[in-house]
Structure 1
Amino acid sequence: METFLIRLLQFILAISLLVLLHEGGHMFFAKLFGVRVEKFFVFFDVGIGKWKGKLFSWKPKKDDTEYGMGWLPLGGYCKISGMIDESFDTDQMKQEPQPWEFRTKPAWQRLLIMIGGVLVNFILALFIYSMVMFVWGDSYFKVSDMSMGMRFNADAKALGFKDHDVMLGTDQGAFREYANVNGDFFRQIAQAKRVDVLRNGKKHSITLPGDLDMLSMIKTRPLFAEPFIPAQVDSVLGDTPAAKAGIKAGDLIKSINGKPVETWTDMNYQTGVLSDVLAVKNTHKDSLAVRSVVLTVQHKGAAKLDTLKLMLTPDLKLGVLQSTLASYYKPVQEEYSFFESFPAGIKHGWNVLRGYVGNFRYLASADGAKSIGGFGAIGSLFPPFWDWYMFWSMTAFLSIMLAFMNILPIPALDGGHVVFLLYEIITRRKPSEKFMVRAEYVGITILILLMIFANLNDILRWLHLM
């Protein structure tokens, strides 16, 4: 429960900040051009009965804008006079146009007002990434430094890869890090026509088609490629099955129930199989039988293997902390001065945006549609503990995501309004108000359906039905 609340708090704080600044971008340009902003709300103030749906609001003296917060945390809005938006205030549109209204301003001013929110989100993301670089620097494990190489699945081996190949680069350049929020490592392989590896101390080149399915590479288990991390125990937790069996830090797990184990991926896969079996067992006796396992272990410094019989915990835990990349490799740490952080942050932000846009095309596939997530999926991206580095990195990523999604040419989104304004600028013909209202209804319907679909995916994943 505590981890859920920590994630929820981070999610609400990040979304509130992004919505506030996004809508602030619209309001900035609106007031710059003398357009009246009637309401500026974080979250929606949907009324229920006589209650107007406001958690609080205030209206400063000599200001036409009412500021406040609604109760429905699905975004926010900036109600601009003389504009057809999600409020569907058509009564206002029937009145005589006023000089302070959106509809009376030149098309180029209206265009800037509409892209103001997206512009702020892009700039905010680049600024946050820059400050992250300045405060924490950039730390990563360089792929070519992983001397134990990679572990590949059957699909990768069919293309010519072999376990323990050290990945050097492709015809597009050298690999940087194994994985980040965009999966650049997999994207580079998917688009490559040649991958260079170090095999037994010699450089080899593997020819690829250049159009591999990156989504499949990431979703398939085991993964297309992942760092080879031996199933070596980092440390043992007290009063656990491992501690009682005499397992110690540095020991290597070689098999479980006769199934060979080389890496922690192997071990986790086998305990996953046991979990599936346990899910269909109805009696306590059957449960105990599944939890009772036989391990072969090579103790640290010993040449022979030791066979151990032990009882896993009810959730099939052994009671050890697994070794990680940090157990074997030293990360590359890059530090930046205040002024150096800006080009580094902008470059990183641009790569994140490019990766996110590149991944967007996979949503048209069946697997891509299943990967769409709602509030639960987004919230789970935050760590189950408070970490300012992760919080700001995720906030910057969500800012880029919000900007890109809002600029899509869907009616009711900023991008939809931009399309209609560009049409007006090019043809010098303004779409009718009747058409704009209908387009807004269509856009709202599309967004609601997408929201339902995304959150339904979250529920199905939570129920282990997807």
Structure 2
Amino acid sequence: MELAIKIFQFILSISILVILHELGHFLPAKWFKTKVEKFYLFFDPWFSVVKKKVGETEYGIGWLPFGGYVKIAGMVDESMDTEQLKQPAQPWEFRAKPAWQRLIIMLGGVTVNFFLAWIIYGCLSFFNGETVFDSTKEDVQMNYTNVAKAMGFEDGDKILKVDGKTQNNLDKLSLDILLSDEITVLRGGKEVTFPTNDDGKALAFRDENPKAFLTPRYPAVIDSIFNPKTAEAGLKVGDQIVAVNGKRIDYYDELQDVVKNNAGRDINVEISRAGTIQPLVLSVSKEGTLGLASFKYLEKFAETKHFNFFESVGRGFTRSIESLTYQVKQFKLVFNRKVQGYKKVGGPLAIIKNMPVDKAKDGSVSIDWTMFWSFTAMFSVWLAFLNLIPIPGLDGGHVIFTLYEMIVGKPVPQKVLENAQMVGVIFLLGLMLLIFGADIFKIFTNKL
């Protein structure tokens, strides 16, 4: 059931993005009286799932879920249908239109994608507000794992700046550090600035969650117990574990480490309850867990900010730019020879696996609509950026050729356009096959 919901969310999100992107091309094309022969969700080589012709345009759904397209008469596109281009240009064809009109048609898709992200982020800020974990609300200590220490951190460091900028939001701090060149901390009463070591970043990317190297430290006060055996042993919600096997426990991360090292064994714990210390014996699972959690302390750092309509409009724009900026910056990790972030890059199958769902206490699974729309907004602004890359076959390739014509005063030769489009399509198909192949390989090697 969970997998089905994730697949449904992915298809729904992609369908929304593709339809609106292609609508961004379709509407200005119709406005400039350009003939649109096809409007398709997904691709339809050889056959389509469903199709219907309305007026001069055939609308349909293809069987190959790699995106979608509008086929505009008189345009060199991914269909590589060049027969029509051998005839004299007709007034209703794309190639007969002024360069500025063709530029608007080509930029329509990415424009819609960006505005869609802006609208979604604005609506999320207006209706839900934004909850951030503000590290300045408490004098919080950080748990620096071995990964963090490999980057250059030391126990007791208080993070002041990342690449010269302050970041109080704990949700973004880890990612900022992974993308950073240097960190400024308060160490032993003095400000110390050190370069973030790529060896430590490489270690972070070997973990399932690369951002888990940095977490706030908080007492081991239990607020949830999932394992009946742990509850039967006498542990209660509200208890604070202060020692395990005679070793003092000050923080929850220390408890996690000790429990993991005693997988499959019984441990002697001391708990603080109503001001008194009591001994208990707890059984650790073979996986190294007790079946409990301690999260409510983090609520001290939580702050929800609400926005009125006009504030949410500005905030929606800012969040769109922030989302795009973070994604572009991650290229430095993807192509870093030490970090090898490309190993964490996934295709559609990896995205489906990581689609968010809402899990209830009774085990039922449903769509987390807030996370769904956040993902759709993020993906929308990312698609806008990717489509602007000047590769033939993408909108950016058409834009470059059109700008060249506007600057030089004459169009790019038709044969050059056709050959460039062919190279671009082959490149993009090869890239998609590589991405899908990598996903399939990870499935068979249990790395997805």
Give the % identical residues. Answer: 37
One of 402, 426, 436 as aligned partner of 2:417: 436
Mark the CA change 1:455 to 1:27 in structure 2 (over 3 Å): closer, same or farther: same
Q: Which string of whole-angstrom CA distances, capped at 9 and with x for unpartnered residues, describes residues 396-455 of structure 1? A: 001011111111122211112122222222233433333222222222222222223323
Mark the CA change 1:264 to 1:77 in structure 2 (over 3 Å): closer, same or farther: farther
In the superposition, the TM-score normalised over structure 1's length comes to 0.82
Residue 292 of structure 1 aligns to a residue whose secondary structure is coil
Q: What is the CA–CA distance in structure 2 between the aligned matches of 1:439 and 1:296, rounded to whole Å?
A: 70
One of 365, 371, 374 as aligned partner of 2:347: 374
Task: Specify the alignment match of 2:283 in structure 1.
Answer: 310
Q: What is the CA–CA distance in structure 1 between the aligned matches of 2:137 and 2:343, rounded to whole Å?
A: 35
Q: Indicate if the aligned counterparts of 2:164 and 2:184 stay in contact, CA closer than 8 A.
A: no
Task: Specify the alignment match of 1:343 in structure 2.
Answer: 314
Give how far 1:195 is off: 1.9
Task: Specify the alignment match of 1:243 in structure 2.
Answer: 231
Give how far 1:169 is off: 3.5
- Give the AA of the match of 1:57: K
| Matched residues, number | 433
Mark the CA change 1:330 to 1:148 in structure 2 (over 3 Å): closer, same or farther: closer
Task: Specify the alignment match of 1:299 in structure 2.
Answer: 271
Q: What is the CA–CA distance in structure 2 between the aligned matches of 1:66 and 1:436, rounded to whole Å?
A: 25
Give how far 1:175 is off: 1.5
Q: Indicate if the aligned counterparts of 1:149 and 1:164 stay in contact, CA closer than 8 A.
A: yes
Identify unmatched segments of 5+ residues in structure 2: 359-366
One of 335, 340, 360 as aligned partner of 2:331: 360
Is 2:173 aligned against 1:185? Answer: no
One of 112, 116, 120 as aligned partner of 1:124: 116
Q: Indicate if the aligned counterparts of 1:146 and 1:166 stay in contact, CA closer than 8 A.
A: no
Is 2:36 aligned against 1:53? Answer: no
Q: What is the CA–CA distance in structure 1 between the aligned matches of 2:230 and 2:281, rounded to whole Å?
A: 10
Q: What is the CA–CA distance in structure 1 between the aligned matches of 2:36 and 2:260, rounded to whole Å?
A: 55
Is 2:437 aligned against 1:456? Answer: yes
Q: What is the CA–CA distance in structure 1 between the aligned matches of 2:404 and 2:74, rounded to whole Å?
A: 19
Residue 34 of structure 2 aligns to a residue whose secondary structure is coil
Residue 179 of structure 1 aligns to a residue whose secondary structure is helix
One of 130, 137, 146 as aligned partner of 2:129: 137
Residue 383 of structure 2 aligns to a residue whose secondary structure is helix
Give how far 1:33 is off: 1.5
1:313-332 equivalences under 5 Å are 317-320=289-292, 322-324=293-295, 327-332=298-303
Give how far 1:273 is off: 8.0
Q: Indicate if the aligned counterparts of 1:44 and 1:75 stay in contact, CA closer than 8 A.
A: yes
Q: What is the CA–CA distance in structure 2 between the aligned matches of 1:228 and 1:162, rounded to whole Å?
A: 14
In the superposition, the TM-score normalised over structure 2's length comes to 0.85
Residue 329 of structure 1 aligns to a residue whose secondary structure is helix
Q: What is the CA–CA distance in structure 2 between the aligned matches of 1:383 and 1:443, rounded to whole Å?
A: 33
Task: Specify the alignment match of 2:217 in structure 1.
Answer: 228
Task: Specify the alignment match of 2:389 in structure 1.
Answer: 408
Residue 145 of structure 1 aligns to a residue whose secondary structure is coil
1:8-407 equivalences under 5 Å are 8-47=7-46, 52-54=47-49, 56-60=50-54, 63-154=55-146, 156-157=148-149, 161-170=153-162, 172-180=164-172, 185-186=176-177, 190-192=180-182, 195-197=184-186, 204-209=190-195, 216=202, 218-219=204-205, 221=207, 223-237=212-226, 240-252=228-240, 292-301=264-273, 306=279, 308=281, 310=283, 312=285, 317-320=289-292, 322-324=293-295, 327-366=298-337, 367-385=340-358, 386-407=367-388
Segment drifting more, 151-160 vs 119-128? 151-160
Q: Indicate if the aligned counterparts of 1:11 and 1:382 stay in contact, CA closer than 8 A.
A: yes
Mark the CA change 1:118 to 1:128 in structure 2 (over 3 Å): closer, same or farther: same
Q: What is the CA–CA distance in structure 1 between the aligned matches of 2:98 and 2:33, rounded to whole Å?
A: 12
- Give the AA of the match of 1:185: D
Give how far 1:308 is off: 3.0
Task: Specify the alignment match of 1:287 in structure 2.
Answer: none
Task: Specify the alignment match of 1:288 in structure 2.
Answer: none
Segment drifting more, 118-127 vs 419-428? 419-428
Give how far 1:208 is off: 2.3
Residue 330 of structure 2 aligns to a residue whose secondary structure is helix
